[in-house]
Structure formats: structure tokens, C-alpha cells
Structure 1
């Protein structure tokens, strides 16, 4: 895993194994990848640039939450050196490669670019404070934390503040969003042992408007914790939350079945 800008070189030792370089930038950035040297024979090797991360055949962001299809997120490379740079749609990208001929390989120059509207994010930290927004757009945004976590909601504005609506009072937060607010917008807290939403167990769903939620927290003792904001495009949704890592005792007390969808 690489979390800094710079040049990275891989040269094969002849091992016929699939390997990968996982790039991660700060949440407010995108990852730009430029190949400055490239030597992979198409008969025995291949490199794939992935828009996002892939692990155990699961992708982040989940296919249903990404603006591109899986096919468009994968760029297969061999033979001639790529003539263009690749820019990720979120703060993570991946180069997977199988290079069986010793000495063959590549060098890439990696830069972090400013993302004016960060949506899907992987956090490399065990604790922190983050706000996820939809910026009024119809899209789903997930913050994936690759640790067991305690997630505490600090403020919620989901399914209430419309494009031309002035909100005079707080509604509080609700768990049955369609019933109470007539909206399909919500924030969900989930956990699982993989990246994709379909393999995660949803613990709670909330919507409403509350600037000081207080003690609303969810304990997620899984390999991955997720805060996912689902937005119809009718509202300016935002959620601010605090996350902190669990102790070994807290993880041990968690039911492992809660990490299976």
C-alpha cells in the first residue's frame, strides 16, 4: 500500500503470481497515475489499472455506488506503453499485475489531485471525524473504514433540506424514513468482512434533521465498517460522524454473524 505521492517501480522476479499496488490519498483527493516506463509482454503478462480497490473479488466503491460500470473501471495494459494518465473517481486506486518474465515491469508517477466534491472514501485511520455530503446530487456516497469501529453520529441532515426549501426547525432523526418523512434518502451504518454493500450487514438506518444527535452510536466489530449516504437528488444531505477503534475485548464480544449479510 502506498499513501504518498512519488515514483514507484516494480520489476518481476519471474514469479507467476498476481500482485497489486494499492494507492490511497487523503479523503479530499483523487489519485492520478502516469506510467513513465512500461515493459510487459502481452504473451506472458498484464497490468490492470483499477478505478477503486478490489480485494477477494469485491470492489470499493460497490458497483451500485460507482458512476462507471465495472468494465469501464478496469484498464488492461500490456505491450505498448500507455499514452495517457489515469485519474481515479475517489481517494483510492489500484494496479494489479501478473508479470512472469524476470526483469519486466513498470514505473509510475503518482500525484494527488484536489477533489472538489469527495463522495466515496476509504479511511486508513482507526479514528477520526468526517462529514459526507451528496452536494444535492443523486448519488450514493460511502465512507469505508478498514477496522472494527464505534461510529457516533454528531449531526444529520438527510431527506429534509430541499433545493428550494427553508427549514425553520429540527425534526430529530428517524429510523423509518419513508414512513415518517416520505423519503427514500437515508444514512446507513453497516459492517462486514468485504468491501461491497451486498456483503455487509446493515445495523441502522437514519434520516431527519438534528444538529446535535448526542449519544447515537453503533458498534461494528467487523473487518470493515461503513457509513453510506443514499441520496435521491431531491435534498442536500450531509452527515457528520466520529469514529474510533474498538478494544480487543469489545471485538471479542461481537457476534460474528453480524458481519454476514
Structure 2
């Protein structure tokens, strides 16, 4: 069978959102090639995937790189069948409908997305997660709310304080987003702008605590998220609408 080239080289949340697509092609016995931008290569270090899935660095040499670069800005709502490869253009699905971009990735592949989170398997370093937990001073037994006001394009300040101690998602040297899993699981509350943290919460299946998400769009919209989020999120168009009570 022809190799499958899946073009979704960046955006942290998108990379693990499409794991079901990659694994479906891999299950057919195909060689699956998923180029990734150097700055996002760390995401694959934390994911468990079949051996026939390759994640070469986009900026470096790899098989089919010429074909990938030729097709990289092409958009198509079905797989592009080349003479010796199948190419899925997932990165630019937003050009068809920005608010439907996540669902459209699965439309291109012809796969249902409802259980996407069940197909994301993390390589967790529990000792490192615990070290971050202690580094943040969260081992004092005081309930805390995990707050994230940042997305890839901007910061959206939350004007109201949570009733618990607030801990903000931030870059900590030596740790990645995945090392925050223990912090996420032990939080009494999570409030975030629509970003990769929200999808990671879905993967971890965090239940029985308040979950708040604020739209990152202008004008605000949750069309991109409303079908892919399965947990009991409370949605807010604007940060000033965020109510913790």
C-alpha cells in the first residue's frame, strides 16, 4: 500500500487531536509520515504511537519531502492520491471554514471524530510531573484553580478571581505542557482560553470539578469546539462573563 502523508506540522492541540486519523491509517499496515515543525517536535516525544508512524522534522531532509513541500499549501476535502503516496491536507482545513477546522480534518480522512480523545496515549513521566507540582508550591494541601489566559495568538486576561488559590499555566524551564498533567488532575477547578490545554483536559477525562472555557475568537464563537468537547464545560463568549460561582 502507498504511504500516507498526513500534513499537520504544527499546533499542539491539533497534533494530538488527529491521533485517531494517524492510527487508523497505521492500522491498515501503511507507512504513515507526519512531518512536524521543529518547534513542535516535543509533542511527539510524549505520545505513544505505532512503529509505522514516522514524525520527521519538516525543516530537515526526509522521504517525500519534495512532495510535501509542493503540496504543503494545497487544500482539499478528500485525500490527494499521488502516484506513490496518499496525502491528507489537514493543516489548512480552516481555509474552508475557520470555525469548523477541527471537524474538517476528520472529514478529509473520512473518519468519525466523536471518540478522538480515546486514541491519544500519553507517555507520562509521573516523577517529573510530581516535581513540577512541588516546584509550583502546590504540595501545601490548599485547593487551587488552574488558570490559563493565553492562546497561540494573544492573552485574554480574566478580570474575576477564582474562589480557590490561583495557579497560572506558564512556561517553566525544563518542563512541557504534558508535565502539567498531575497539576491538571489535582486542580479543584480549571479555567482556560480555548487552546491546547482544553484538549489535554479532554484526553485526561477530568470530571467532577468545574471546567470553564473562554472563546479566543473575535467575534467570539464555540462552533469549533461544541462537537469535539465531551466533558461538562461551561462556555463563556467573553472573559468578563466568566463566573466561578
RCO comparison, higher one (Cα < 8 Å, 6+): 1
Normalized against structure 2, the TM-score is what?
A: 0.31
TM-score, scaled relative to structure 1? 0.29
Structure with the bigger percentage of strand: 1
